[in-house]
Amino acid sequence: MLGVKKAGHIGTLDPIAEGILPICIGQSTRIIQFLSPLPKHYQCIMELGSTTDTQDATGRVISKKDTAGVTTDQIKGILKEFRGEQKQVPPMYSAKKNKGIPLYKLARSGITIERKPVSINFFSIEFVSREKNQVKLEVHCSAGTYIRTLCHDIGQKLGCGANMSNLVRNGIGLFNLTSSITLDDLQKASENKLLEEVLFPIEKVLKFLPELCIKDTYVKALANGRPLTKGSFKKFPSNFKPGMNLRVSNGSDAILAIVEPMVNREEFDKMNENEIAFKSKRVLIN
């Protein structure tokens, strides 16, 4: 549709789900790794009283139980137990891979393997409404979290079982439903040469990363992938540490690269001007 050679999406959506799917096109595929960890917002409907092999409404029903004794107050109370950092076992019907094979392909072949719990974080889980066995929730969580597994686990705690019957992803970082467009609208924008009005520039998308400002004389070295010394910079954040990602500019809006600190800010302040302080993770200039 857009005449680009490559594209890549950020965050697989379940077959039952709808909502936001950010797609990087052309050169912007180089920043996917920095967007994939962004937190996500969901709205889901949890169906009480039945469990399925996929943990959602597309699967085979494994068990059915009476929900007459399950009160709304009980549900609200259990939601509190799931908030915060915890471990979650990924479902077999998922895009996670085992020796290069997606788990859902193994599951469809009747194969079940042991999955290690993954560290996740539920920043918030809010009760929205309940209509009989249909419970609507709003969830803000870390990347890599399975909402249908959350529904399943809540059902286990309640004792009646549960699965996810509906899911809408309505936020990923700065991406939201308001700023999203359909494929039909993208086609029209392309035909009318209005793509700049609907596509996000890399600079806007990476605005959440702290900024380092480099001296012009070091831009060429950066373009060649060389690590950056303390003396390369004319501006840097008040705090940073190894493991962080930072965007590099030379005072203009353009992002030149993404780098990682090799030291924390306190150690940085004690370094000599010619000592290496940052290493390149992704060069974004040619």
Residues 67/135, Cβ–Cβ less than 8 Å = no
Distance, in Å, from the CA atom of 256 to the CA atom of 249, rounded to the nearest integer, reads: 5
Active-site residue flag, 153: no
Distance, in Å, from the CA atom of 39 to the CA atom of 222, rounded to the nearest integer, reads: 30
Distance, in Å, from the CA atom of 38 to the CA atom of 174, rounded to the nearest integer, reads: 9
Q: Burial, 192: exposed, middle or buried (Cβ in 10 Å; 0-12, 13-18, 19+)?
A: exposed
Kindly give, in sequence order, each residue whose CB lies less than 8 Å from that of residue 76, ignoring residues fewer than 6 positions away: 127
Catalytic residue chosen out of the listed positions 14, 53, 73, 184: 14
Let me know the angle formed at the C-alpha of 109 by 105 and 111, rounded to the nearest 5 degrees.
90
Q: How far is CA 160 from CA 57, 65, 66, 70, 75, in A?
A: 16, 5, 6, 8, 11
Q: How many CB atoms lie within 10 A of CB 188?
A: 13
Distance, in Å, from the CA atom of 50 to the CA atom of 62, rounded to the nearest integer, reads: 7
Residues annotated catalytic, as ranges: 14
